[in-house]
Amino acid sequence: MTKIIGHRGAAGLALENTIKSIQTAREYNVDAIEFDVRLTKDEHVVLSHDRHLARVSINPSKIAELELDEVLKVELFDDHRISTLQDAIKACGDTPMVIELKELGMAERVLEILEKYKDKSITITSLWHDELRVVRKQRPDIPILVRDQLSPIDIVTTARQMDAAGINLNVWLLNPLTYYLAKRWNLTVMVYTVNHKMLARFLNKLYPNIMICTNRPDKFKRKRQLLKQAAKKVKQLKRTKATRKAAVK
C-alpha cells in the first residue's frame, strides 16, 4: 500500500518545519512526518531546511552562526518560532517520523537526543552518506534511507552496501529500473515532492507500495475528525442492524 508522508510537516498548509506544520500533518492522519534538522552554533538540533533563515523570516542569519537562545528568539513568518528536535518529536506524538540530516557532523548529536525516544518510530535520511554510516554503526536499530540527487541507479547499490532500509529520491528521478532493483533487494522507495492527485495515481499504478512525500496531505488523506465521524456512523449502523435482528427474533 502506498504511504503518504507529510513533507516538512505539511509545508503546503503551514510554515514548513514548524510545530504548527507538524500538527497539521497529524490532523490528516499521515503515515509519517518528515522534517529537516540542523545544528546551532552551540550544537543544539533545530528544525530548518536551509542554512539560513531568509526564506522563512526577515532574518538572513545562518543557523550555524547563532546559539540556541538566539535561534529561538527569531520570529518566523505567520508568528511561528523555530523548533528544537525534542519539541518536534513530542509534537509528532505516535506518528512515525523521517528525520533528514541536512549537514555533516550532526549524526552523533542527533543520536544522543534520540536515546530518550527509543519508543518512537524514527527513520533517518540524508544526502550525506557518511552521516548515515554513523547512524548505522551506532544505532543499527534505526532504519536509514539513502538519498541521492544525481544517480537513481547507483543509489540502490549504495543502499545495499550500507544495509539501508531504502532509498529517497526526487520523484522525477524514479524510473522503472530503479524501482525494479529496489524491490528486488527489498528496499523501501520514498519520493518527494508529490502535490497532485493525478501524479500520485500514476505513481501508484506504475510503482505500487512506495512512500509519497507531499506538502499537501489534505489532498490524499481525510482529517482524523472525519475518520472518527465515519467510524461512529459505522458503529451506529451495526447497532441498528443488531437491534432489528433482535426484534425479529
Question: Per-residue pLDDT for the chain (249 aa), expressed as one digit of tens each?
Answer: 899 999 999 999 999 999 999 999 999 999 999 999 999 999 999 999 999 999 999 999 999 999 999 999 999 999 999 999 999 999 999 999 999 999 999 999 999 999 999 999 999 999 999 999 999 999 999 999 999 999 999 999 999 999 999 999 999 999 999 999 999 999 999 999 999 999 999 999 999 999 999 999 999 998 865 545 555 555 666 565 555 555 555
Place of cell 531504502: 166
Domain CATH for 100: 3.20.20.190
CA nearest to 129, candidates 111, 147, 141: 147
- 165 contacts: CB under 8 Å, gap ≥ 6: 123, 143, 144, 145, 187, 188
Cross-strand pairs, 246 = none
In the chain, the number of structural domains is 1
Range of the domain at 133: 3-248
Residue 9, SS3? coil
Give this prediction's pTM: 0.89
Cell of 122: 524514527
